[in-house]
Homo-oligomer: A and B are copies of this chain.
Amino acid sequence: MKLIAVGTVAFDAIETPFGKTDKILGGAATYIGLAAASMNIPVHLVSVIGGDFPQEYLDMMTDKGINVDGVEMIKEGKTFFWSGRYHNDLNSRDTLATELNVLENFDPKIPASAQDAEILLLGNLHPAVQLSVLEKMEKRPKLVVLDTMNFWMDHTWDLLMEMITKTDVISINDEEARQLSGEYSLVKAAKKIHEMGPQFVIIKKGEHGAILFHKGRIFAIPALPLEEVFDPTGAGDTFAGGFVSYLAKKGDFSFENMKAALIAGSAMASFTVEKFGTERLVEITEKDIVKRVNDFKELTTFDVVL
């Protein structure tokens, strides 16, 4: 199956307790594209960049099989820039700068070659932009996967609700699930979110793993315990990219296959955090992913006989 992913292609400047970077390649769509590429899944990115975006980054993506026809360059504009500093525990961070630049007036263009994509992944963006993408698809993709965040709940509630109504799979973190539903219990939160539209609710819990809810069924996984988390930037986007890539590979949207996709996504995200930005993700191959998935099996397999 073919993927289309809409999101940011950006510059990030990151500080962690282990060091800091200059402006490096970042953005949700970038991580999603690289995750798909590592699984050899055809993926079209839809995004916007400024004239300051290096051609070598676009070439790198193209070389990996990522289709960037939908990445519009606005020559006179500047690329979206985010800068942040992680705290010592790497679970929280301060945003030092957010320069929207060309993202401010992002008007996604869907290339004709991407119109037949079966899976649409809407990265974390203004819900009006996400809705406009759906409208621009000539026919609704078979599966619409939505990433969003608390900011849109605070500021664009009605538009976000409209978007969620049209969503098959929503991927949010535990605090966002609680805010969206008004329920503390994640089981109750997922039920309420199901009622809003999505048949599948993924709740991400960072170092504590993730939970998938579907019509009263639940699948939960721990995160792979890592000796060192170097830089968490992009972990959530890599997870989403790995998740949809596994679905695209199998062409199967059953609960059983979604479970496997959750593992694949988590395995891929566990690579991203090992180095700064996309450094680690660009290196990995399907063979590395298979090995990490086996680590997950080892981590979680048990046999109780009572």
Q: Nearest Cβ distance between residue A293 and chain B, in whole angstroms?
A: 5
Chain B residues whose CB sits within 8 angstroms of the CB of A221 once the complex forms: 222, 300, 302
Does A229 lie at the interface of the complex (its beta carbon under 8 Å from any beta carbon of B)?
A: yes
| Contact B306 A225, beta carbon cutoff 8 Å | no
| Contact B219 A302, beta carbon cutoff 8 Å | yes
Closest Cβ neighbor of A221 among chain B residues: B222
Contacts A185-B226, A185-B229, A205-B208: A303 and B256 contacting too (C-beta < 8 A)?
Answer: yes
Does A286 lie at the interface of the complex (its beta carbon under 8 Å from any beta carbon of B)?
A: yes
The contact string, 1 if C-beta is below 8 Å from chain B, for chain A 8-28, is 000000000000000000000
Contacts A220-B222, A221-B222, A222-B211: A187 and B227 contacting too (C-beta < 8 A)?
Answer: yes
Closest Cβ neighbor of A208 among chain B residues: B208
Contacts A263-B304, A304-B263, A306-B286: A299 and B218 contacting too (C-beta < 8 A)?
Answer: yes
Contacts A208-B208, A263-B304, A289-B306: A184 and B225 contacting too (C-beta < 8 A)?
Answer: no
Chain B residues whose CB sits within 8 angstroms of the CB of A286 once the complex forms: 306
Closest Cβ neighbor of A206 among chain B residues: B208
Q: Nearest Cβ distance between residue A302 and chain B, in whole angstroms?
A: 4
Closest Cβ neighbor of A210 among chain B residues: B222
The contact string, 1 if C-beta is below 8 Å from chain B, for chain A 214-248, is 00011111110111110000000000000000100
Chain B residues whose CB sits within 8 angstroms of the CB of A208 once the complex forms: 205, 208-209, 222
| Contact B260 A303, beta carbon cutoff 8 Å | yes
User: In the bound complex, how far is the Cα of B209 from the Cα of A229, in angstroms?
Assistant: 20
Does A96 lie at the interface of the complex (its beta carbon under 8 Å from any beta carbon of B)?
A: no
Q: Nearest Cβ distance between residue A176 and chain B, in whole angstroms?
A: 16
Contacts A89-B184, A209-B208, A220-B299: A304 and B260 contacting too (C-beta < 8 A)?
Answer: yes
Residues of A within 8 A of B (CB): 39, 88-89, 184-188, 205, 208-209, 211, 217-223, 225-229, 246, 249, 256, 259-260, 262-264, 286, 289-290, 293, 296-300, 302-306
Smallest CB-CB A-B distances: 9 pairs = A220-B222, A208-B208, A260-B304, A259-B302, A187-B227, A290-B306, A263-B304, A187-B225, A293-B304
Please name 21 pairs of A and B residues whose Cβ atoms are closer than 8 Å in the assembled complex, sorted by A. Answer: A39-B306, A88-B184, A89-B184, A186-B225, A188-B227, A205-B208, A208-B209, A208-B222, A209-B220, A209-B222, A211-B222, A211-B225, A218-B299, A219-B302, A220-B300, A246-B304, A260-B302, A263-B302, A263-B304, A290-B306, A300-B302
